[in-house]
Chains A and B, each alone.
Chain A
Amino acid sequence: MKTMRKFLLLFFSTLSSVAVYAQEEVEMADTMRSEGKIYVVVAILGLILFGLFGYLVVLDRKVTKLEKKLPEKK
């Protein structure tokens, strides 16, 4: 019984120390997230990314057109 109590004590003391460690606040952009402004960032980056993808697709098609204009290799 005594060992059991010792074990439980040890168990809960480690648990609480883990909890204390987790509570140590590290500054993150929590306000920005709660205000939903992070979606603005995602929207802007998404737009730039898709703009670039669109550009790549256009270039890809242009090259395909050029390739088709050239006669086949004998």
Chain B
Amino acid sequence: MVKHWWKIASILLLAYTVVAGFLMSVPRLNILNESIRALYFHVPMWFGMIVMFLVSTIYAIKYLRHPTTKNDILSVEFANTGLYFGLLGITTGMIWANYTWGSPWHGDPKQNGAAIALLVYLAYFVLRGSVDNHEQRSRLSAVYNIFAFAAMVPLIFILPRMTSSMHPGSGGNPGFNMYDLDSRMRMVFYPAVAGWILLGVWIATLRIRIRNVKERILELEDYA
């Protein structure tokens, strides 16, 4: 039970997110109206994705220094979970955009950047699928992984801020200026981010453990 405290923390934080996210008061803003509450769910998907991809890149670098199956599995499965978060982020964003900006795909710089970043990561899995040799696959994809992360950061964080994006914090102003006046939202938003990230890590560790079991079975079969 002591080992699982962070899983319990994730459950509690997300339960708080749903309850407080719908019941606590939010700023009354035109156009956004009640949909402002989507912030508690849409934005943490991206935070989750970035953390998963960051961990994936760290293990890709680790793999290149110490090429072990363990490092490779960690890198792949975190990238896998990150991609899921990214897909959820982009689809929830499309629903939100449809009702606040007028169409699901608005060509907003951040929206386009996020889509390209996801395609870059999809190519990572295509690359992995196209190389038969184990070691070659792991090494090539580890190198690609680092480049993918390096491409994602400017696509999501830098380029949209240099033009006028409809996302808050764009046009040279990082952060959530739009919500700056409101500490009530921060009280739900930060726990939500922490909760979703922990949930992502939980799912990733499950995938990793299943892969490790698989790997172990293959090893045992080789001995037999």
Query: Which of A's residues lie within 8 Å of B, judged by CB?
Result: 26-29, 38, 41-42, 45-46, 49-50, 53, 56, 59-60, 63, 66-67, 70-71, 73
Contact = CB atoms under 8 A, between A and B. Distances in A.
A28 B209 CA distance: 46
Interface of A is mostly: helix
Contact of A42 (B23, B202, B203, B212): B23
B15 A70 contact: no
Contacts of B210: 63, 66
Contact of A71 (B19, B212, B220): B220
A59 B19 CA distance: 26
Nearest to B219: A73
Nearest to B209: A63
Given A42-B18, A45-B18, A46-B15, A28 B206 contact: no
Interface residues of B, number: 23
B133 interface: no
B105 interface: no
Nearest to A27: B33
A66 B215 CA distance: 12
A38 B216 contact: no
B203 A56 contact: yes
Given A56-B203, A71-B220, A49 B15 contact: yes
Interface of B: 7, 11, 14-15, 18-19, 22-23, 28-30, 33-34, 202-203, 206, 209-210, 212-213, 216-217, 220
Interface of B is mostly: helix
Contacts of A41: 22
B209 A70 contact: no
A56 B210 CA distance: 13
A67 B33 contact: no
Contacts of B28: 26, 28
B190 to A, nearest CB: 18
B18 A73 contact: no
B34 A70 contact: no
Given A29-B34, A66-B213, A70-B220, A49 B14 contact: yes
Contact of A63 (B23, B29, B213): B213
Given A42-B23, A46-B15, 6 more contacts: A45-B18, A49-B15, A50-B15, A63-B213, A71-B220, A73-B216
Nearest to B202: A56
A27 B29 CA distance: 8
A31 to B, nearest CB: 12
Nearest to B208: A63
Given A26-B29, A26-B33, A66-B213, A60 B220 contact: no
Contact of B19 (A46, A53, A60, A67): A46
Contacts of A60: 7, 202, 206
